[in-house]
Amino acid sequence: MLFAVLCKDKPDSLQLRMDTRSEHVAFLNDLNARGVLAFAGPFLDDAGKPNGSLVVFKLDTIEEAKTTAAADPYAKAGLFAEVDIKPWNWVFNNPQA
């Protein structure tokens, strides 16, 4: 099952995001190697700077998705003001379909 993790950064947190980015990328690379990561990327503000994240996990339960999202270095660093996790169905342009 797919779970979309929608994250909104705290205001004025770009430096925290940049300081934590290498750990976050390593975390996502590990998830990808284990077949857990479907895709991921940042949301951008009007100036083209990251201000949130969209991460989609391939997991069995929402509890696993919550645990995995909480283990993200960005989450551990306190980057996010809001995190919303929703089951998601990839209908169009799904390379697995």
Q: Chain-wide mean pLDDT for the chain?
A: 97
Beta carbons within 8 Å of 30's beta carbon, 6+ residues apart = none
CATH of 2-88, one of 1.10.10.10, 3.40.50.10190, 3.30.70.1060, 3.40.50.150: 3.30.70.1060
Reported as a pLDDT band with limits 50, 70 and 90, residue 9 is very high
Residue 27: exposure state from Cβ atoms within 10 A (0-12, 13-18, ≥19): buried
For the segment 26-45, what is each residue's pLDDT rounded down to a tens digit?
Answer: 999 999 999 999 999 999 99
For β-strands 37-44 and 2-9, DSSP reports them as unpaired
User: How many whole angstroms separate alpha carbon 94 and alpha carbon 21?
Assistant: 27
Is residue 95's pLDDT more than 90? no
Q: What are phi and psi of 33, to 5 degrees?
A: -60, -30
Taking the C-alpha atoms of residue 23 and residue 19, their distance in angstroms, rounded to an integer, is 9
